[in-house]
Amino acid sequence: MERKPPSPPTALTAAPSLEAMSFDHPSFDHSSFSLKFLGTQSFETLHHDDQKQECEVDWDGPSDPSNPKNWKTTARMLQVLPIAFFALNMNLAATMFAPGVDELVAEFGITNSTVATMTLSIYVLGFGMGMVIAPLSELYGRLWLYHVSNAVWLAFTIGCAFATNTPSFMIFRFLAGCAGSVPMTCGGGTVADIIPPKDRGKFMALWGLGPLIGPVVGPIAGGFMSQTVGWRWTFRLLAILGGISLVGGLLVLRETHEATLLKRKATRLRLLTGNNSYTVASRVNKTAGLTPLQFVARALLRPAKMLLFSPIVLCASLYNAVVFGLMFLLFDTFPQVFEQTYDFSPGTQGLAYLGFGFGTLLSMAITTKYSDRLMRRRSDDDDDGTKARPELRLKLMMYFSPAIPAGFFWYGWSAEGRAHWVVPILGTFVIGFGSLFVMLTTQIYLVDVFDAQAAASALSAALITRILFGTFLPFAATPLYERLGLGWGNSLLGFLVLGLSPVPFVFYRFGGWLRERFPVRL
């Protein structure tokens, strides 16, 4: 007897399709889910034989409102602002205490100059923990990490304010630095989560302002506070700001990590339908087949692999780190120059940082205005900027980074010659102006190159090198200036930065080739 072939199921009767199910099920929220199918079998077949078929969960097309990149500008700004404020607090804490170091040294009876210096630099050393913490955001999402780190930082900052001896203070300060590393490493990843490349520059500038302006504003406020109410109140003020940051984050921050959001969708679909074949879209599912421990172990190796095998990450991180370290070394000379040479009081000595600060503000305004414009110089068929060369960002660094060595020559020789105090401060203005173009542009460039899936790891690689230079380079200040003086000492620093000036030119010309020639398998 001849068997008739089965009739194809209709869309809404005995064997509804998955797509029909996605629209018609009474519990299904279409705005939250989308389905991308591997195969054409009906829902009924998939439901009963789900081990043979996979359904990838993805966004509802390029305009899906649940995709963080499609959120309204206000919603996206509400994600960046709290993180930028958190990053500002972390970096205020790095130097706000600096004018009160002598008071703490006297109170705790510290006689070793290295230990006295470590009361400042051990906090920056704690930032290095970002290399360990950041990969967790690529496994479990970013939101919980921000909340936990904010709370932990607040707790240990309060501990610093009430510490009664050197060991407890140093432990609290280091652990606060560890918690403070999170917005430094994950903030760029959040920006990449929610902002397409063509609009990323101004948001990255907002996020990156804290690490640059914080170390400048900190001593200004700290100088007057330590002179009037004592060094402990610098930490109490930081704790108040940390509390504001924590509450604000709890109120407005949302999860932005794409893979985490799609995992949640897949889980809800499995619960809704009883079909265990729903999986995260393979383009973002980097944890398939890995246990959490294996993923974290692999992710921890990412920054090291990037530094070892990617010339772009290595050179960008090195340039960034040298400028960052020299910034702290420069600040180490301010008491000698402005208190001893120009007779500034501890309170007014903090005002010497304004030159550097105004320089960074000017360069940030230029970056905000022109960085995204440079990225829009692309082919006409590239509507969202994703095909634009990341190297276009580097033009600002090419134009303005030579200001850094010029500023060091200016500052060093004017201080050596005892020119009017405004002249060396103008030199620091020039240094600050050029420094932001290096430190911020390299971070934006790394985020554009590695995008949301590996931006946190790339920034961790840059951060760990920056922390090493920022922690240990200031120890060279005393022997350097005792041997060479302010003139030749700062000239040596200027020549060091000048030697790195070709980096953006090389990247601009050969960056695409380097990315293809030295891919990092993550």
- Give pLDDT, residue 214: 84
Residues forming beta bridges with residue 225, ordered by sequence position: none
Distance of CA 442 to the CA centre of its chain: 11
CA distance readout (Å), 398 to 144, 395, 401, 402, 511:
38, 5, 6, 8, 14
pLDDT for 377 equals 64
* HEC sequence for 218-280: HHHHHHHHHHHCCCHHHHHHHHHHHHHHHHHHHHHCCCCCHHHHHHHHHHHHHHHHCCCCEEE
Mean pLDDT by 10 residues, the chain (522 residues): 45 38 42 40 35 71 87 91 92 85 88 83 80 75 92 96 93 93 86 85 82 82 84 94 95 91 87 82 68 73 84 92 90 82 78 88 87 66 59 90 95 92 94 92 86 73 84 83 91 94 92 83 66
pLDDT at 20: 39
CA angle 202, 65, 29 (to 5 degrees): 155
Q: What is the pLDDT of residue 287?
A: 63
Place of tokens 């999402």: 141
Q: Distance between CA 187 and CA 200 in Å, rounded?
A: 12
SS (H, E, C) 316-376: HHHHHHHHHHHHHHHHHHHHHHHHHHCCCCHHHHHHHHHHHHHHHHHHHHHHHHHHHHHHC
Distance, CA of 28 to CA of 268 (rounded, Å): 9
Give the H or E element holding residue 180. Answer: helix 166-180
Q: What is the DSSP string of 444-466?
A: HHHHHHHHHHHHHHHHHHHHHHH
Residue with tokens 């974290």: 296
Contact 140, 260 (CB under 8 A): yes
Contact 328, 402 (CB under 8 A): no
Query: How many Å apart are CA 464 and CA 306, to the nearest integer?
Result: 12
pLDDT of 200 reads: 82
The pLDDT value given to residue 288: 63
- What is d(CA 312, CA 470) in angstroms, rounded to the nearest whole number? 21
- Report residue 105 as tokens: 């040294």
DSSP state for residue 57 in the 8-state scheme: E
Q: What structural domains and CATH numbers belong to the chain? A: 68-256+290-517 (1.20.1250.20)
Q: What's the pTM value of the predicted model, to 2 decimals?
A: 0.75
